Amino acid sequence: MGAIVLVAVVVGTLLARLLLGEGERASLTVTVMGRSVHVVEGTTLAGAAARFRLHPRAGDVLDVDGKVLRAAAVPGSFLVDGRPASVGMRLRSGERITVADGHDRREPLLRRIVRVSGGRASDPQFTVSRTPGEQLIVSGALSHELVSLRFRPSGPARTEKAVALTFDDGPSPQYTPRILAALTKLRVRATFFVIGYLAEANPDLVRQELRQGMTVGNHSYNHPQVPPFAQLPPQLLSDEIALGEQVLSRLGVQPGLFRPPGGSTSPQLVRAAAALGQRVVLWSVDPADWRPGSSPKAITKRVLSAVRPGSIVILHDGGGNRNPTLTALPAIVRGIRHRGLQLVALTAKPPRPQNATGHR
């Protein structure tokens, strides 16, 4: 009987050790991701995570446009009974272990205010004038991508003692070279709003405009007029602006100015152009040189009777017979200068912000 009892004790001891694990530690019951499991006493959260292959997914840091800026930069975490826990903690019986994936996070925003040296032109722009003020700039703190740009005026607009001559609907192989030659002879820099498909067909004329110191702006790709440009479906409107810009970009022009066909504008159009970095430019003097039968004398009279400091004059170098416009140019230039006004090309780029005055 003694031998039998001894064997039973030994077998019972071995079985207990097997059940309790090495070191004769007791077994704990915990719940891992909804499943009840046994671990030895003293097991840490890290040990359980390794044993049951728990790997919280890391989230990404995204830029302001939702693109991945830093992959797997936001770590996930372990939860014990629904609360974040240190991986070094020792588990207790009955605890529930789950994982929380890292959430994608947008980069923080940086807000700053900068004074606009020299002021800013209006958008849409009707005259050669600038308003003093400051820009409120919001950008991604990591990517530096622009989120919004808002101008806050600090005083009334200042009208320049200047006039801008602008030409639409080119380039025309028949008239643009002759108008450029006349402007060069008169020592005048002007602004040409070119149609995309015509620029594509006459790239050398656009390059000639640039070589001769002219500003080149976007006048849409196809120059649609029916319905009025601003009433086009939003996607078509944006595409017309973007396609015109793409043609000019291939020719070395980064257009900062956009003139809608027919001068048709709306807040939606201004926003669409601004999204592509372009300011909408209209005019304050229209001598209707596009009207059939307009004589050089009539065109000149209409310009000089309406022109004032800051005027933007619309003329045409394409789209029809431009001989009257060409003939009228010398008298128009002389009449404007006789009034003590300069002739200027419009600035494609906004003034560079300088002198940061604070952060928000």
* The dihedral sign for the CA sequence 241, 261, 223, 195: negative
- Asked if residue 259 lies in contact with residue 241, where contact means CB atoms within 8 angstroms, the answer is no
Maximum separation of any 2 CA atoms in the chain, in Å: 138
Among residues 63, 168, 223, 359, which one is catalytic? 168
| Exposure letters 221-242 (e unless 16+ CB within 10 A, then b) | bebbeeeebbebeeeebbbbbb
Place of tokens 């390794």: 50
- Annotate 123-144 with three-state secondary structure: CCECECEEEEEEEEEEEECCCC
Phi, psi of 292 (to 5 degrees): -55, 135
DSSP reduced 3-state for 83: strand
Separation CA 325–CA 295 (nearest Å) = 8
* Structure tokens given for 37: 């499991």
Q: Is 286 a catalytic residue?
A: no
Q: Which helix (H) or strand (E) holds 100?
A: strand 96-100
Edge to edge, the sheet with strand 27-32 lists 35-40, 27-32, 96-100, 77-80, 83-84
| Exposure letters 263-291 (e unless 16+ CB within 10 A, then b) | bbbbeebbebbeebebbbbbbbbbbebbe
All residues at 6 or more sequence positions from 229 whose CB lies less than 8 Å from its CB, including other chains = 220, 237, 240, 260, 261, 262, 264, 269
Q: Is 168 a catalytic residue?
A: yes
- Asked if residue 124 lies in contact with residue 312, where contact means CB atoms within 8 angstroms, the answer is no
Among residues 169, 223, 316, 317, which one is catalytic? 316
Q: Which residues are part of the catalytic machinery? A: 168, 316
